[in-house]
Amino acid sequence: MRPDAQRQLNSRQSQMLDLISREGEVRIAELRDSFPVTEMTIRRDLEKLEETGVVKRTFGGAIFVGQDVALKERSGILTDEKVRIGRKAASLVQPGDSLFLDGGTTTLQVARCLPSDQKLTVVTNALNVAQELAAKGIPTIMTGGTLLEPTLSLVGPIAVQSLSGMAFDRVFLGATGIDAEHGFSNSNFYEAEIKSVAVRQASEAVVVLDHTKFGARALASFSSLKGIGRIVTDELPEEALLLACKENGVQVEVADRHR
């Protein structure tokens, strides 16, 4: 959220923002029932909330679009866990595999751990992942598309069209959250669209994520639990989520702490 915009919110607008972030989408009629102000005031409040960058006005309401946390802000968070996850995920790769890796700090660790002597072909929509693969001498294809600056990812119709014509042995994807009902989700619609296409084009879809994502629900779901074959993480989720994964055929693999 833009700090200057956040500081300028009044108490009612802050409460409204909390409500929209919880619900994901609200209608003006609902806000009118929750706040004792006129519809014109609510519309002005929504304009103010849109300035924060995490709310987008729609016809008759508003949706919560979240905020992409820049890679440079995420790169120092849970680094050891992500390294272990990346190493474990890379061990799943077989010689000659065709792979897709999307953007993110955890998928970057997968790229860093990929072997350079197994005749792999890797497709990615992430500039930082492509740079890492190029340094290792691994044949790399970029999707093309519109650059999403905070995550250095290429998204949009060109990226979608490119991926739709490919087939992958495995795809490795990051996620903002995993929830039994909402499935695997991401805070950005455009990135979620890329992930969804990659899942459809893969023989096996692998989601790499740390334990802080368990139970979290971001706005855009890119796959149900049943659509993902495996997750690689640093800790087992709580019993209810673990059971939901097993019931939906999701194999949960925990990275070794001692390597």
In degrees and rounded to multiples of 5, residue 239 shows phi and psi of -55, -45
Mind listing the pLDDT tens digit for each residue in 134-175? 999 999 999 999 998 878 899 999 999 999 999 999 999 999
Reading the block at residue 213, the tokens are 């994502």
Amino acid at the residue 211: H
Residue 7's pLDDT band (cuts 50, 70, 90): low
Residue whose C-alpha is closest to residue 84's, from 174, 210, 170 = 210
Helices 157-164, 189-200: crossing angle, 10 deg rounding: 10
Mind listing the pLDDT tens digit for each residue in 66-108? 655 444 444 444 578 899 999 999 999 999 999 999 998 899 9
The residues facing 55 across adjacent strands are 64
For 133, the enclosing helix (H) or strand (E) is helix 127-136
Residues 6+ apart with CB under 8 A from 4: none
Mind listing the pLDDT tens digit for each residue in 215-258? 888 888 999 999 999 999 999 999 999 999 999 999 999 998 75
Is the whole-model pTM more than 0.75? no
Separation between Cα atoms, residue 215 and residue 161, nearest integer Å: 32
Q: Which domains occur in the chain, in start order?
A: 3-64 (1.10.10.10), 72-254 (3.40.50.10470)
